[in-house]
Structure 1
């Protein structure tokens, strides 16, 4: 859909809000794509509950769980068009439109969650978020680090050499594809809801994802080896179509912003608290958990940084600036 059509749809929604009677309740459709019961799904539900408690008869969130609205790209595009007003998931997807976000997808960039939080509070992140708002009409209300992403496979992986030639599921994010190619796998793109079947049938032999999301999707039952690569630190964010946001009264904007910030604080605490327990649950249910030596993986992944910047996957020098935070 072209940009004029997107602006028209978003503008139509904004106009409907501005012309609604003052007493009418305004409903925002909020989409996600993670498994019901996963950490991100619960975070989205918490945000919706907070807004619905505080919005009274003026504002309500209609949260659509799972992939009822489509995959992440589908929901983001609907948000750009204005047919869906809000979305909650990882920040990584925005790398499809603003290259700065791609660095979030490059393994072993961040030392720990505190390092990632420094980035989210930095001018580097603020500039990327503002570009997303100006160019795509999407306003990020809040974001936080959550859980490490882990590797699951149908055979044990102890070193990068064990990844050579393995059929690896990756999301529709270019940097993920390039990272796992650099690590020696043969990446395939599958929607999140298709991974379990893909692993069960052998279409793919490995996948990766946030700890709680992989557990909620029962991926450890289809790929019985769970590797604590902790190659990425996942994020959770809440975003709104900017035209829809601007059309709201200031008090309703404040309700959304405050609820989003509280949700981000909650999801970080909850993510950190749940990680070890969820991994233990996987082991209790028959998975073999392997804590790998990360350094060989780190060295192999870092070999690709210069090439990523040379080809414009993210702006030159950004990775080094983040490492210096």
Structure 2
């Protein structure tokens, strides 16, 4: 059935503003910056569906948007436009995701487990199994900032698989660590598959993808290049990488620059217009398509910038605060200033209390 899915993303995009300074970022948040801030579209209209019990592999060259998509699905970051529906609790395993550097491994286990809704009693029961699986020895009571990448991966994976999530997202977490731990992870993933869990697996290793995944999505510089049968997609991806490796250094640079320029110059307005036209062809009798597409694009999006009304309210509050500060400094009463604002530039040396005028 069409609605029988575990994860659905539709027309998802993600824009990053390339701020140079923190002040530039603050001005943009309040929409007071007159200079146009350069932007980069990590995702340019991704649509795919993951069925219950399916293991989906995400492949693509570095910077194509694989981790961005997995972070959006897990709820770590919001999408810029598009619809994301995740039916179940997610747990993401990534080398740098979800671990607090200043906390010990044991403290991180408790914190992440509490965030997933487990009780202290349940965590106490799971703690020995998680520590045993991670196999990081006495480092479990040391701050995570002292861990190697492999140790971080071990701990993150151990926590994620023991809190029993509905949807497990693994982002390059098997690329570090020794063969023994790698086999433990593969066995645990296979166990999850046998239980009918839904898994999203991000990796550069096509052998891992082919061994674990039922379906593969190839994301190529922010676009969904291909999605389908594992062998078919990985075969096409191998052909692409083989072609790319044969290019000269100059040709590689030109190709990558061309793709990056497309991501920088992507127009969300043109993409929205394209989607509207496609929907019009499929359902020519449909009315109010523009408003429906706009709702599809922005209906479930949390804005990362202030709305016009919030801007007006912020400025109004700021003006009121400044006004009362000036009144306080002037030494005049509020009534006096309201009736004669010019007294603000003539401070009084006498304190006026309410009711004494």
TM-score using structure 1 length? 0.25
Q: Which has the larger radius of gyration?
A: 2
- Considering Cα pairs closer than 8 Å and 6+ residues apart, tell me whether 1 or 2 has the greater RCO: 1
